[in-house]
Amino acid sequence: MRACLAVCVLAPLLAAPAAARRHDSEKMPVTRVRDLHYGDVLFHYFQENDFEALTRSLAYDHWSRMPHHEDEALLLEGGMYLDLGMHNEAGAIFEKVLTLNVPTGVRNRAWFYLANVWYARGYLEKAEGALRKINGRMSPDLEAQKELLFANVLMHEGRFDEAIQLLSGWRGQQPWSAYARFNLGVALVRAKRLADADPFLSGVGNMLPSTTELAALRDRANLALGYAYLQADEPARARAPLSRVRLNGPYSDKALLGLGWADSALGEYQAALSPWMELRNRDMLDSAVQEAYLAVPYAFSKLNANAQSAEYYESAVNSFDAENQRLDGAIASIRKGDMLERVLNKDQVRGEDAHYGWFWQLKNLPDAPESRYLYALLAGHDFQEGLKNYRDLVYLGGTLETWDGDMVAFEDMIDTRASAFAERLPRADALLASDAVGKLQQRDVAFENRLRTIESQHDVAALGTATEREQWARVQRVEGALAGTPDTPENAALRARLALVKGVLQFRLNDAYGARLWQEHRGLKDLNFALNEAQGRWIRVERARKNMPANTGEFAIRVASLKQRIGALQGRLAATERKQSDYLGAVAVNELEQQKDRLAAYQVQARFALATMYDRAANDESSRPPKPAAPVQKGAETDEPAPPAEEPPK
């Protein structure tokens, strides 16, 4: 089913119709992901977590988080609905989205897989409608499957002539050609055209199978042809196809039973005993084995072996009684209401590795009275589909439990957030009241004005180091002190030395002035950037101070609402789960009750035949004069009719 999704995921629904026509309809062009949330959906989809991907896609669509992929996301949702068995939702989406703008191959495959699901669920009219929406031919493999599916739909609707007409002109390769010939043969049998059906069913029944699946199909074709000849009162022609059925195959029980009735119809009761005795040693769950319990003594009675016949009739009665008691125990166990819980093992279904999907199959059965009957029950379409639905309900129940736990975690997060806000609120209010950023900005303006003044006056000493500024200040003080002294040789020497020191210091300051001025401008620029960042954070703090209570309250309301919705869904889901469990229990009990009715009918036949034999034996004994020796067994033939042959398999 994921093949359908692989077709749908990258469908270029936003491409122009002309571009779609130019593109190969069987190949998908790559779509560039333009929305992060759509990429998130695809991530979970390619992880084969379809339920999570569908949930996220619906949520993102609700919040309009995928504006560039609306149609693609919708088609992907339809594919995932289909993969999860929700065919009605998938059909509604496909009706809406699969327009002429979509490449032909995409449309055809989507409708084909939807038809498969509808056919499996028993919606034959919808399956036919989906198949008729396929425009043109698909790849050879899909085209073969489509034709066979269409023929199956027609046959299930009783339109055998149309199915014959469709399959008569069909040509294909293995294994589909074998299925086509088998279906055509079955359609001809149901149309009362056995002579026309023989070549097709015989062709399938004589093929050399390359796989286990084809081997089972071969057995089924031989079984269908054999029983068709039995119903047509041609037992001689039924023997050959029934003899070709494998003894260890799934259809061997019915084949052995039919082969015995074919020999019996030809009067060869000794030959009929061979398959019936083999069949009698098999599991009594099969209706063919149950019928063999009556067929064996019937054959012995026809052979005038009344002692053996009576013995086997008594054995049949006892076996039917024992099986009837086991059926009663299984029915009582099922009616307790915990059958499905033991079968499914809910902990495993709800685990992290559980896979959600309508196609899930049951592989292991618990040790319970009803377990030996569940394999036969699972072969029924109604029980199988109902079991899939029940397992999906269990999975959804586990998912809702997880989500309910998430809501509790969200509530704790909101409470923690509110507590942290209340704790930090006084400090935040004190910080906001201090106007710290405003004061820092004023100092920044003062620094900028001072640097501008230094630059305009070319004040090299102002940009010197602390030592240099101290030295420059000392030079100016000494220069001021010497300015008022008399012009003596000593003062003249001091002024000369001071001029030399001042010149050297001024040279150094002037030499480093350019680099230091650039560094100051760079530092002032970094300071402005830091102040702007601080101002932005200050504004965010002010907004958070105002909005935090409202946001926390809004989140709390949303979480409370979601928790209430989850609780309501859990109640509805639990009720639905109980109804589905009751329904499956009723289906199982009904199936076992039918087995009890069949056993009761067989038991009545066995008791009647046994009573008839004893009555005739008593009448024959009373009409004879007594002899000293033991009487020679003659055994009259019983009028017990042979149990009716089964219908050919569908």
> What Cα–Cα distance (Å) separates residue 291 from each residue in 32, 230, 352, 457, 534?
65, 16, 47, 121, 92
CB 293 within 8 A of CB 319: yes
pLDDT higher than threshold 80 for residue 633: no
Among 72-81, 127-136, 550-559, name the one with the lowest average pLDDT.
550-559
Q: 542-561, pLDDT tens digit by residue?
A: 777 676 666 677 788 888 89
- DSSP 8-state assignment for residue 74: H
pLDDT at position 28: 46
pLDDT higher than threshold 90 for residue 224: yes
* Exposed/middle/buried for residue 203 (C-beta within 10 Å: 0-12, 13-18, 19+): middle
Q: For the chain, which residues make up each domain, given as ranges?
A: 1-138, 406-622
Tell me the average pLDDT across 57-85: 84
Take residue 20 and report the two structure tokens written for it: 């779609």
Report d(CA 130, CA 115) in Å as an integer.
5
pLDDT at position 220: 92
pLDDT at position 7: 45
Report d(CA 638, CA 133) in Å as an integer.
61
When pLDDT is cut at 50, 70 and 90, the band that residue 258 belongs to is: very high
Among 130-139, 354-363, 518-527, 554-563, name the one with the lowest average pLDDT.
354-363
Nearest to 25 by CA among 124, 101, 113, 127: 101
Report d(CA 257, CA 280) in Å as an integer.
10
Report d(CA 297, CA 300) in Å as an integer.
5
pLDDT at position 571: 92
> What Cα–Cα distance (Å) separates residue 343 from each residue in 326, 339, 368?
19, 6, 9
Q: 95-124, pLDDT tens digit by residue?
A: 777 776 777 777 788 888 888 888 877 788
Take residue 147 and report the two structure tokens written for it: 């034709």
Half-sphere exposure of residue 323: CA atoms within 13 angstroms, side-chain side: 26
Check residues 509 and 567 and name the one with the higher pLDDT.
Answer: 567
> What Cα–Cα distance (Å) separates residue 62 from each residue in 13, 50, 76, 619?
20, 18, 15, 87
Q: 380-407, pLDDT tens digit by residue?
A: 777 777 877 888 888 888 888 888 998 9
DSSP, collapsed to helix, strand or coil, labels residue 433 as helix
Question: DSSP letters along 442-491, please?
Answer: HHHHHHHHHHHHHHHHT-GGGGS-HHHHHHHHHHHHHHHHHHTS---HHH
Of 69-83, 264-278, 318-332, highest mean pLDDT: 264-278
Among 75-79, 516-520, 548-552, name the one with the lowest average pLDDT.
548-552
Report d(CA 255, CA 226) in Å as an integer.
8
pLDDT higher than threshold 50 for residue 18: no
Phi-psi region of 321 (alpha: psi -120 to 50; beta: other; left: phi over 0): alpha
Q: Is the peptide bond before 628 cis (omega within 30 degrees of 0)?
A: no
- DSSP 8-state assignment for residue 32: P
% of the chain with per-residue pLDDT over 90: 12
Of 3-7, 138-142, 230-234, highest mean pLDDT: 230-234
pLDDT at position 341: 67
When pLDDT is cut at 50, 70 and 90, the band that residue 16 belongs to is: very low
Tell me the average pLDDT across 617-634: 46
* Helix 104-120 and helix 2-9, axial crossing angle in degrees, nearest 10: 150
- Tell me the three-class secondary structure of 323-390, residue by residue: HHHHHHHHHHHHCCCCHHHHHHCHHHHCCCCCCCCCCCCCCCCCCCCCHHHHHHHHCCHHHHHHHHHH
Q: 343-371, pLDDT tens digit by residue?
A: 665 555 454 445 444 444 555 655 666 66
Among 27-31, 118-122, 280-284, 520-524, name the one with the lowest average pLDDT.
27-31
pLDDT higher than threshold 90 for residue 221: yes
Round the CA-based radius of gyration of the chain to a whole number and report it: 46
Identity of residue 597:
D
pLDDT at position 274: 92
Report d(CA 325, CA 603) in Å as an integer.
13
Please report, for the chain, how many H helices and E strands are present, in that order: 25, 0
Report d(CA 266, CA 168) in Å as an integer.
35
User: Residue ranges of the alpha helices (H) in 212-344?
Assistant: 212-231, 235-243, 252-265, 269-280, 287-302, 306-334, 339-344
Phi-psi region of 170 (alpha: psi -120 to 50; beta: other; left: phi over 0): beta
CATH classification of 1-138 is 1.25.40, yes or no? yes
pLDDT at position 190: 87
pLDDT at position 622: 54
- Tell me the three-class secondary structure of 89-150, residue by residue: HHHHHHHHHCCCCCCHHHHHHHHHHHHHHHHHCCCHHHHHHHHHCCCCCCCHHHHHHHHHHH
Report d(CA 18, CA 407) in Å as an integer.
49
pLDDT at position 650: 32
Half-sphere exposure of residue 626: CA atoms within 13 angstroms, side-chain side: 1
Q: 419-459, pLDDT tens digit by residue?
A: 877 777 777 777 677 777 778 888 878 888 888 888 888 88
Token pair 């594919």 in the structure block, residue: 79
CA 338 and chain centroid, separation: 25
Check residues 70 and 215 and name the one with the higher pLDDT.
Answer: 215
418-437: burial string, b at 16+ Cβ within 10 Å, e else? beebeeeeeeeeeeeeeeeb
Among 281-295, 316-330, 626-640, name the one with the lowest average pLDDT.
626-640
CB 110 within 8 A of CB 94: yes
Report d(CA 57, CA 38) in Å as an integer.
7
When pLDDT is cut at 50, 70 and 90, the band that residue 230 belongs to is: very high
CB 204 within 8 A of CB 217: yes
pLDDT at position 630: 28
Question: 45 CB contacts (<8 Å, ≥6 apart)?
Answer: 5, 9, 53, 76, 80
- Chain length of the chain: 650
Mean pLDDT for the chain overall: 79
Report d(CA 608, CA 350) in Å as an integer.
53
Q: 26-44, pLDDT tens digit by residue?
A: 444 566 888 899 899 999 8
Tell me the average pLDDT across 55-75: 86
% of the chain with per-residue pLDDT over 70: 82
pLDDT at position 640: 32
pLDDT higher than threshold 90 for residue 478: no
- DSSP 8-state assignment for residue 62: H
Report d(CA 463, CA 512) in Å as an integer.
9
Q: 492-517, pLDDT tens digit by residue?
A: 888 888 888 888 888 888 888 888 88
pLDDT higher than threshold 80 for residue 146: yes
Query: How many CB atoms neighbour CB 59 within 10 A?
Result: 12
Question: 608 CB contacts (<8 Å, ≥6 apart)?
Answer: 640
Report d(CA 290, CA 460) in Å as an integer.
117
pLDDT higher than threshold 80 for residue 287: yes
pLDDT higher than threshold 80 for residue 579: yes
pLDDT at position 639: 32
